[in-house]
Amino acid sequence: MRHILPSSIRQTPTGTLAQTMTQAVATTVLATGLCLSLNANAQEPDAHELYTENCTQCHGTEVYTRADRKVSSKDALETQVRMCEQNLGLKWFDDEIDSVATLLNKEYYKFGD
């Protein structure tokens, strides 16, 4: 048995339904690729710049190197950076907090992975 579709379904103003669906899929694929490309090209936060412009306004490196420092793990370091960011009202993104915590760990704390 042959099914007959109304002409409004078989034909769109620009072509057949299959052509329209193909164009929609192609557009979606291209848009997704563009978004992924933009994300891949996004710059990493400049941890040195963030640190210099914000952290050094309140304290120097003695906070990281003193014998009785409060931070004792990578998780505690990230928590401390996040707390400082919030106290200063900086509105950093998570990747900016992570990059500053990573910088401080690399330069001063040297907690393992």
Whether residue 51 is found in the same domain as residue 95: yes
The overall average pLDDT reported for the chain is 82
Whether residue 60 is found in the same domain as residue 32: no
pLDDT in tens, 44-63: 899 999 999 999 989 999 99
Domain that includes residue 89, residue range: 47-109
Q: Which long-range contacts (CB under 8 A, 24 or more apart) does 71-78 make?
A: 71/109, 73/111, 74/101, 74/105, 74/109, 74/111, 77/101, 77/104, 77/105, 77/109, 77/111
Task: Examine residue 68 and state whether it is found in any structural domain, yes or no.
Answer: yes
Task: Examine residue 67 and state whether it is found in any structural domain, yes or no.
Answer: yes
Whether residue 22 is found in the same domain as residue 56: no
- The pTM of the full predicted model, rounded to 2 decimals, is 0.63
Overall number of domains in the chain: 2
DSSP code at position 45: P
In this structure, what CATH number is given to the domain that contains residue 69? 1.10.760
